[in-house]
A and B are shown apart, each in its own frame.
Chain A
């Protein structure tokens, strides 16, 4: 029997494994920033983090951050600059991986962070894109992390703030001029979905230990496709847990 861990700790560990050594990562707050810290301490010591506020770092800040612009994230930065300079790197295809949060994701990996219902008279006005749409369109690949709830994993988003694989047809991104390759994974509290090369519909790649396909189907707003080699998500290693817990 391995160690006890939370769903969030597992999500962070899975997210950290998406970061390769030497990557330039567009880091978000909360779970992704933890994932960046874990990657640095386990397998990717040379990964750098880029923050849209206008910062680059080669190691996470030591203190707690409420936002990416907090003073401990600035002290020790390897670059403090303008937002447009951080975006320039992304526009050149030099950002290897991005993390994006969202209120809703659909089966093609599109995210909605703008409107629930008609934009002219929305049922819910969400805060908006922030840098989400930019990361979705310009970073080479990206990942989203989400609580696995039926209202969040919807068949099609009602408003496409940050494009994933669009209408799900093969090559949609390329045809529409989007620079990066799009979403590679949706990491949830129950499982990991991945996407076929070249775009398309998410398939269930690995189930988190202790969860079932039925549970995923029940909590997902689309008809879930299973991956050809569906397996179990590798639980967090001792090193990953140590790295996570030293920071939370």
Chain B
């Protein structure tokens, strides 16, 4: 399925969308840019720390609420579109449900386990308790209300057409986001035969019964890193931070890299992909699933 079709069919206006769940790696930028091109509105974005992608979606006017621990640009600092939305209501007002990394994970686990909330000691004493209506206290604990995404969008190293995705490296909150979500959209570097994914079922992160779309989208996480495939494009993040400092600068960035681009393949023509590609491979030892 193409990214355009996956977004068109499975992420309507008003969706609660979990993205960027592996923190800095594997961020589904291609999916995010397609949301912008298709002019999605009133989205609620759910994630831990969002490295520039949430900032872009906010600046493009797609978002009415953010439920996250951190929104900005990890190597560069503040998110300028996020600031404009919160401070000036530009391009529209934005509701923020603040979390910590731990509490957003618990909110998703609560939804994954189908319970209204989970207790924790984290956030005791923090003012975040006063700005997020989804958090309460009682019996000496913080109770983190469940957050159930309509859809989780996950970028994987490889997946088969049925939706069995192999992810490796640090996983952040991807597992609980996928389990909590009503449905999962997978984009992947490599579309592989089922023989490959089924050779290591431990590495299939999410149940195929949740996956509604698999998009073969090489480079779909750029500028974020993909272990074994791509390094992080630090300069790209830096340029984005500089250009998005002003509203006009952001508008021209968006035109150049999203609006005037038809799809990911066209986008990648503007990137020196070979400079970012990982060539020195370090394969793990094979795992023996022998059974007789």
Contact (Cβ within 8 A) A83 B24 = no
Say yes or no for A213: interface residue by CB 8 A criterion.
no
Q: Is A127 an interface residue (CB 8 A)?
A: yes
Closest to A87 in B: B102
In the assembled complex, B275 has its CB within 8 A of some CB on chain A: no
Return the contact of A124 from the options B83, B96, B125, B234 (Cβ within 8 A): B83
Contact B124 A178 (CB under 8 A): yes
Q: Which residues on the A side are within 8 Å of B61 (C-beta)? A: none
Question: Would you list which residues of chain B between 7 and 38 have a CB under 8 Å from chain A?
Answer: 22-25
Interface assignment of A34: CB less than 8 Å from any CB of chain B: no
Question: Contacts of A210 on B, CB cut-off 8 Å?
Answer: none
Evaluate whether A69 and B24 lie within 8 angstroms (CB atoms) in the complex, with A127-B72, A129-B100 already known.
Answer: yes
Which of the candidate stretches A7-15, A49-57, A142-150 sits at the interface with the other chain? A49-57
| A55 contacts across to B, CB distance below 8 A | 170
Beta-carbon nearest neighbor of B124 in chain A: A177
Asked if A66 and B237 sit within 8 Å, CB to CB, the answer is yes
Cβ-Cβ contact count across A and B, 8 Å cutoff: 191
Nearest residue (CB) in A for B71 is: A127
Does B176 belong to the interface (CB within 8 Å)? yes
Answer whether residue B44 sits at the interface, using C-beta atoms and an 8 A cutoff.
no
Bound state CA distance, A67 and B71, in angstroms? Answer: 15
CB pair A82 B123 closer than 8 Å: no
- For A71-91 the 0/1 string (1 means CB < 8 A from B) is 100110100111110010011
Is there a chain B Cβ closer than 8 Å to A176's Cβ? yes
The contact of A114 among B98, B105, B227, B231, by CB within 8 Å, is: B98
Taking CB atoms, residues of chain B closer than 8 Å to A29 are: 74
Distance (whole angstroms) from the CB of B168 to the closest CB of chain A? 7
Main secondary structure of the interface of A (DSSP, over half): loop
With a cutoff of 8 Å between Cβ atoms, the chain B residues found around residue A163 in the complex are: 124-126
Do B225 and A71 touch (CB < 8 A)?
yes
The digit string for A97-126, where 1 denotes a CB below 8 A from any CB of B, is: 000000000000000001000010111111
Task: Establish whether residues B172 and A53, one from each chain, have CB atoms under 8 Å apart when the complex forms.
Answer: yes
* Closest partner residue, chain A, to B99 (CB atom): A129
A70 at the interface (CB under 8 A from B): yes
Contacts of A160 in B (CB 8 A): 125-127
Query: Complex: how many Å from CA A221 to CA B278?
Result: 48
Q: Do B227 and A74 have beta carbons less than 8 Å apart? A: yes
A134 at the interface (CB under 8 A from B): yes
Residues of chain A contacted by B105 (CB below 8 angstroms):
83-84, 87
Q: Are A83 and B128 in contact (CB under 8 A)?
A: no
In the docked arrangement, what's the CA distance between A129 and B125, Å?
13
Give the docked Cα–Cα distance between A176 and B140 (Å): 8
A222 within 8 Å of B by Cβ?
no
Cβ of A31 < 8 Å from any Cβ of B?
no
Q: What's the Cα separation between A80 and B169 when bound, in Å?
A: 6
- Cβ B87 vs Cβ A130 within 8 A: no
Residue of B124, B131, B176 with most partner-chain A CB within 10 A: B124
The complex places the Cα of A51 from the Cα of B175 at a distance, in Å, of 17
Q: Tell whether B82 is near chain A: CB-to-CB under 8 Å.
A: yes
Q: Given known contacts A82-B173, A91-B121, what 13 new A-B pairs fall within 8 Å (CB)?
A: A53-B23, A53-B25, A71-B231, A74-B170, A83-B173, A84-B105, A128-B71, A128-B99, A130-B69, A130-B100, A133-B128, A137-B122, A163-B125
User: Would you list the 8 A-B pairs with minimal beta carbon distance, nearest first?
Assistant: A69-B24, A54-B170, A127-B72, A125-B86, A163-B125, A130-B70, A67-B24, A53-B170
A-B contact pairs, 10 of them (CB 8 A): A29-B74, A53-B23, A54-B171, A70-B25, A75-B282, A81-B170, A83-B48, A91-B121, A127-B49, A162-B126
